[in-house]
Amino acid sequence: MGPTNNRGTRMIELINDDCRNHVSRIAEHDNCLVIYDPPYDEWDQVINVEATSKIAFTSPQRRHETENILGKPRNEIVWFFKDGRWVSKNLPRITHNYIFIYGKTSDAAVGPDQEIKTMKKGYTSIGKDNLGPRIFTTKPRKHLNSVLEYPRNMKSGSWGKPIGLLKNIIEWIDPDIVFDLYMGTGSAGKACLNLNKSYVGIEKNSDVFEKTKAHFRPENRQ
């Protein structure tokens, strides 16, 4: 499936290949987000690319390998899932992963709408009481929290990431185009459809690719 157009509106492109053959294209875009979500035991084969923004999914056990390849993240989000998984009988059940953030982000508020309220903020700290009460108005939407709770996306296989989680992060970073180097079930692509962002998804495994491609046919989109 190729680009639908090149006139500044959304395009969706899906590629069945090793992502490392396509990374040179990323430099053509000056506001792009690269998503890294490789199988965690293949982090040592990942290539670091230059991009405006990058996010990387990694686990407590693999975070050092991720840092070896991509460097120290500017910021990190903890993805908390109650439906955890066991890696060993002798260790705590894993109920979180990390999302490392590199490069540009925006100040966009994300997440569900909330009621707009104006309220008194109370007096300020000791010694500043003479400033009087201050007024504070909530934003129509909330800011991103550093811990995001989403159940794992088990419908699509054990490694599908939650579409809502990706939607919040992509909206916050606000790129013009997303390169999803390890597409899998295409959760990031579905988030991009929802946000009307351009998306390039790359998947090496042909069986996985064909299944995911079918989900992107107009008649199968939700």
Ligand X SMILES: C[S@@+](CC[C@H](N)C(=O)[O-])C[C@H]1O[C@@H](n2cnc3c(N)ncnc32)[C@H](O)[C@@H]1O
Report the C-alpha gap between 168 and 109 in whole angstroms.
9
Distance in Å, CB of 201 to ligand X, minimum: 9
Residue 111 has a CB neighbour count (10 Å cut-off) of 16
- Interacting residues with ligand X between 7 and 66 (CB under 6 A): 18-20, 37-39, 42
189 binds ligand X (CB under 6 A): no
Give the residue with the Cβ less far from ligand X, 71 or 157.
157
For the bound state, the minimum distance from the C-beta of residue 216 to ligand X, rounded and expressed in Å, comes to: 13
Q: Please name the residue ranges forming H helices in 16-124.
A: 63-70
Q: Which stretch binds ligand X (CB under 6 A): 1-9, 24-32, 92-100, 180-188?
A: 180-188
Based on the shown chain and the rule CB under 6 A, indicate whether residue 124 belongs to the binding site for ligand X.
Answer: no
* Binding status of residue 168 toward ligand X by CB under 6 A: no
Residue 20 is given by DSSP the state G
Site string for ligand X, 125-164 (x = CB under 6 A): ----------------------------------xxx---
Of 60-68, 78-86, 140-148, 203-211, the segment contacting ligand X by CB under 6 A is 203-211
For residues 83 and 57, the answer to whether their CB atoms sit within 8 Å is no
The residue whose Cβ lies closest to ligand X is 184
Tokens matching residue 122 = 């109370």
- 143 alpha carbon, distance to own chain's centre: 15
Give the Cα separation of 101 and 165 in Å (integer).
14
Structure tokens at 78: 């903890």
Q: Shortest Cβ distance from residue 125 to ligand X (Å)?
A: 45
